[in-house]
Amino acid sequence: MLLNIKNLHVAINGKEILKGLNLSVNKGEVHAIMGPNGTGKSTLAAAITGRENYDITKGEIIYDGETINDMAPDIRANKGIFLSFQYPVEIPGVSMTNFMRTAINAQREFNGLEAIPAGEFLKKMEEMKKLVDINTKLTKRSVNEGFSGGEKKKNEIFQMAMLEPKLAILDETDSGLDIDALKVVARGVNELRSTDNAFVVITHYQRLLDYIVPDFVHVMYDGRIVKSGGKGLAFELEEKGYDWIIDQEDE
């Protein structure tokens, strides 16, 4: 099992947001997590990636056989956990190229490898830019600075493609994308899908799941996964809305 989350409780500033969440993900699987705003989807992503101030008060996150509750975020990243941010941040003055090379070399150093040769790096950049249909100029610009909403999201997928994670979490990568950009994002994911990695796709809309077909769909509500099923569940949600599940829950 690649990811095994057991009875996870997470609090921010003492306020409990995740209230006993369970999730297991095997290699080769794609899991979709859906649910209304404010139910803790991004909080789950933050807890898995080790963001500061997301305090795990109970439970365990086991990744690749190891409990990572207290592991530094950069170590988790170097062990293969990647987050496509819901709101990618701008870093002025740091070119995408420089940022990407720093990240790749950090990962290589972690794995006991030499820094990537310039030629190899540039070749890989070109290849992955094509994959996600990113304009060459974009990688010369500062990280996310002046990028449109769509460009920021594509840039997240580009970074994912460059870093080849084992576990990729996509936090609403589809929101705000037009259909073409959505297809590009989906193509990126599908291209990278293999029996060695897994994806957790957080989304509001069934729409993305037409292009990234999930093996499992989970519905989150109030800090827990309240319903799980196959991809059919997404259609059901689309039809009946969340109220259908929420009503069951609140009873």
Partner 1 sequence: MSESKNENILDQVTNEEYKYGFYSDIEMDMAPKGLTEETIRFISAKKNEPDWLLEFRLKAFRYWQKMEEPDWALISHPPIDYQDIIYYAAPKKKKELESLDEVDPELLDTFNKLGISLEEQKMLAGVAVDAVIDSVSVKTTFQDTLAKHDIIFCSFSEAVQNHPDLVKKYLASVVPVTDNYFAALNSAVFSDGSFCYIPKGVRCPIELSTYFRINAANTGQFERTLLIADEGGYVSYLEGCTAPMRDENQLHAAVVEIITMDDAEVKYSTVQNWYPGNKEGKGGIYNFVTKRGLCKGKNSKISWTQVETGSAITWKYPSCVLHGDNSVGEFYSVAVTNNYQQADTGSKMIHQGKNTKSTIISKGISAGKSNNSYRGMVRIGRKAENARNFSQCDSLLLGDQCGAHTFPYIKSANETAVVEHEATTSKISEEQLFYCQQRGIDMEKAIGLIVNGYAKEVLNKLPMEFAMEAQKLLAITLEGSVG
Ligand X SMILES: Nc1ncnc2c1ncn2[C@@H]1O[C@H](COP(=O)(O)OP(=O)(O)O)[C@@H](O)[C@H]1O
Q: Write down the least CB distance from residue 39 to Mg ion, Å.
A: 9
155 touches, from partner 1, ligand X, Mg ion, none (C-beta below 5 to 8 Å by class): none
Do residues 219 and 202 make contact, with C-beta atoms less than 8 angstroms apart?
no
Residues from 33 through 72 that contact ligand X (CB under 6 A): 37-43
The C-alpha atoms of residue 238 and residue 225 are separated, in whole angstroms, by 18
With binding defined as CB under 8 A, does residue 10 bind partner 1? no
Q: Which two tokens stand for residue 204?
A: 């509001």
Instruction: Rank residues 104 and 177 by Cβ distance to ligand X and give the closer one.
Output: 177
Do residues 145 and 179 make contact, with C-beta atoms less than 8 angstroms apart?
no
Q: Write down the least CB distance from residue 228 to partner 1, Å.
A: 27
| Contact flags string 21-60 toward partner 1, x per CB under 8 A | ----------------------------xxxx--------
Long-range CB contacts for residues 239-244, cutoff 8 Å, separation at least 24:
242/35, 242/36
Closest CA to 84 of 121, 47, 45: 45
Instruction: Rank residues 40 and 80 by Cβ distance to ligand X and give the closer one.
Output: 40
With binding defined as CB under 8 A, does residue 93 bind partner 1? yes
CB neighbour list of residue 51: distance below 8 Å, 6 or more residues apart? 73
**Kind of pairing between the strands at 3-12 and 167-171:** unpaired
Measured between its terminal Cα atoms, the distance across the chain in Å is 34
Instruction: Rank residues 77 and 202 by Cβ distance to ligand X and give the closer one.
Output: 202
Instruction: Rank residues 39 and 107 by Cβ distance to partner 1 and give the closer one.
Output: 107
Instruction: Rank residues 80 and 214 by Cβ distance to partner 1 and give the closer one.
Output: 80
Return residues touching partner 1 (CB under 8 A). 49-52, 72-74, 77-78, 82-83, 85, 88-89, 91-94, 98-99, 102-103, 106-107, 110, 142-143, 159, 163
